Structures are given as structure tokens and as C-alpha cells.
A = this chain, B = another copy of it.
């Protein structure tokens, strides 16, 4: 199963000759399915116990990575694949990657917020558990004495950190259990069986092998470009526009309505990137790939900061917290909303380059 299924004759954009067809898609899907199965085996070998390990966290990331690519290909190139199979497969893959993403998301969110609290306190020292805990699936028992490790924080910042630590560690522990249950469920086993079949047998339609992939990939790119035109890029490109903190104190802060179109573009950019991979192979046109990557990284940062800001706002609603704690959470919330604004600026800069490069 570890053998490479990518067709070595896979045509690249700009090459003379006929474009890639359903055969190239089949090769891409087989590669991703193989990768999924390899990651699953690795996850089982590295121990999927109650606490997890660094290896199992890495394996879970690889599982999500391949699940996202298969799911995206099913979306973009749906017309080349068996309809019933696609419609049955896509929600299952979304469930797998969504369920596996939660533990990592809570870990990263806690790290982001504790790092910000230290920055805001002018502390150069990092909290020991933050750097150790990230991506390691660290056991919840480690979260015992966070305030001791933050001796150089103010009382408010230390209490805010301890509160966020408690809340997000609890959420992460629950997400870890949920992921383990999911991986052991009959629903997951059924998906793994289907992916194992996909690794050798891609359900292409009768005409797929003669159909050019590129118009479908271009359609994915068009959906991205259309969505980008709805973004307030002129505002985003003007530094310190203070747009991300508008409504920062309004009751409908979580989730922030103004972030939704950016989240949507993030998903469409990913679909576009995976469609490019399927069409041109993962190493095709590295220069534009870097631009897409930096635009995508800006949107990831946007999403992470948006969710971290929401977590700080949520923590501030905890009953009976001290005013100093609430104050620190307010500063932290605003700081993360400015990170949201900074990420939009970074996206605007990257996208501008991308457009110039493409013209």
C-alpha cells in the first residue's frame, strides 16, 4: 500500500499536449487514500490511548490532511465520479477530519492565548507547559499548577491564563475522548474500508478518462476569486483601519459575523489549492504555490485569532470571576481581534501579489 500511485506522465500546466484527465484524478485519489491508510496504521502503532503521544498527534494530522484532500477532490471533480459514492463519502470524510481537528484546535488556541498573555505582560519567558503541550496530546493531568509557572504575570493575567487553561484543557480532553471514540466506532471502520477500496479502485464515470480536469479546477478557482471580490480588501489593505474590533463589545461577538466571508474564502482557497494539486501534481508551479500558501496561512491565522478572541470573550462570561481577570481577558480579546485585522492585511498583501503574478 505504500507504493506511489501518482502517474509519472501526469501533464503539468503550461506543458504542450492534452491536459490531465480522470486518470490523473484517479492517481491523486489513490495517493491520498494510501496516505490516509498509512497515517491510520501509524496512529494505531503510536498508541491511541487515553493520553496520546506526539506520534499519534502527527498521525492524526496526516489522517486529516488526506481526508481533506479526498473530500475536496470529490467536491471539485464530482462530475467525473460516481454520484452515489461521492454523496455517501463526503459527509463521512468531513466528520473524520472535523472530529480529529478539535483536539489540535483547542491545544493551539490555548497556546496562542497563553503566548499572547505573556507578550502582553512583557514577559520574555515562555510558560513551560505551553511549548511542551503543543501537538503532543499532553495529558490533562499536566495542567495542574499553571499559576506557579506564570510567576512573572500580573495577578489578572495569571488568573486569566489559569481560567483559559482550565476551560480549554477540559475542552481538549473531551475532544481527545471524542476522537478516540470516533476512531474506534463502526462508522469509522466503514469509512476506512471504503478508503482502502479507493486506494486501488477509483469509481470514475464512463467518460472520465477522456475528460480534461482543468475546466473543473478553473471553476474552483473562479469560485475563490468571486468570493474574494466580496471581501473588504480596500479596508483590509489600509493598516490600522480598526475594522476588526467594531462590534468587539456587542452581544453577538461569538461567532463574529464579519469574519464569516473570510472563513468562506479560506475554505475556497483550500479547494482551489487541492484542485491544483490534483491537476498539476503537488510540485507543479512552485512560485504561485508559495503565494497561495502565504494567502492561506494568513487566512488560517485569521481563523485562529478569531476563535481565540471568541474564547477570551467566552471565558469572561464565567460567573464570579475577579474584575482583574475580566480586565485581562478584555485586553486579550482586543489583542486577538487586532490579530484578525493584521491577518486580513497580510491576506490582502499576499493576494495582491498573487493577482499581479497571475496576470
Is A156 engaged at the interface, CB distance under 8 Å to the other chain? yes
Q: How far is the CA of A257 from the CA of B156 in the complex (A)?
A: 20
* Contact segment of A96-104, A188-196, A202-210, A244-252: A244-252
Cα–Cα distance between A120 and B251 once the two chains are bound (Å):
11
Q: Is A134 an interface residue (CB 8 A)?
A: no
Q: In whole angstroms, what is the CA distance A316 to B250 when docked?
A: 19
Instruction: Using A240-B345, A334-B331, A335-B334 as known contacts, say yes or no to A249 and B326 having CB atoms under 8 A apart.
Output: no
Known: A240-B239, A240-B338, A342-B239. A247 touches B121 (CB 8 A): yes
Q: Which residues of B contact A227 (CB under 8 A)?
A: none
With A and B bound together, what is the CA distance between A341 and B117 in angstroms?
Answer: 18
This chain: copies in complex:
2
Determine if B249 and A328 form an interchain contact, defined as CB atoms under 8 angstroms apart: yes
- The residue in chain B whose Cβ has the minimal distance to the Cβ of A349 is B239
Q: Which of A196-233 contact B (CB under 8 A)?
A: none
Question: Does A242 interact with chain B (Cβ within 8 Å)?
Answer: yes
User: Cβ of A334 and Cβ of B327 under 8 Å apart?
Assistant: no
CA of A332 to CA of B335, assembled, Å: 11
**CB of A324 within 8 A of chain B?**
yes
- State the majority secondary structure of interface residues on A: helix
**Contact pick for A328, options B153, B156, B239, B330, CB 8 Å:** B330
Q: Given A120-B246, A245-B335, A334-B335, answer yes or no on A240-B341 (Cβ-Cβ < 8 Å).
A: yes
A239, A326, A341 interface centre (most CB from chain B within 10 Å): A326
How far is A154 from B250 in the complex, measured between Cα atoms in Å? 6
Contact of A154 (CB < 8 Å), options: B154, B249, B323, B338: B249
The CA of A153 and the CA of B251, in the complex, are separated in Å by 9
Within A102-138, the residues touching B (CB, 8 Å) are 117, 119-122
Scan A320-352; emit 1 where CB is below 8 A from any B CB, else 0.
Answer: 011111111111111100100110010000000
Which B-chain residue is minimally distant from A246 (CB atoms)? B122
Q: Interface residues, chain A, CB within 8 Å of chain B?
A: 117, 119-122, 153-154, 156-157, 239-240, 242, 245-251, 316, 321-335, 338, 341-342, 345
12 A–B contacts from the bound complex (CB under 8 Å) = A119-B242, A119-B246, A120-B248, A122-B250, A157-B249, A240-B240, A245-B338, A329-B330, A330-B331, A330-B332, A333-B334, A338-B338
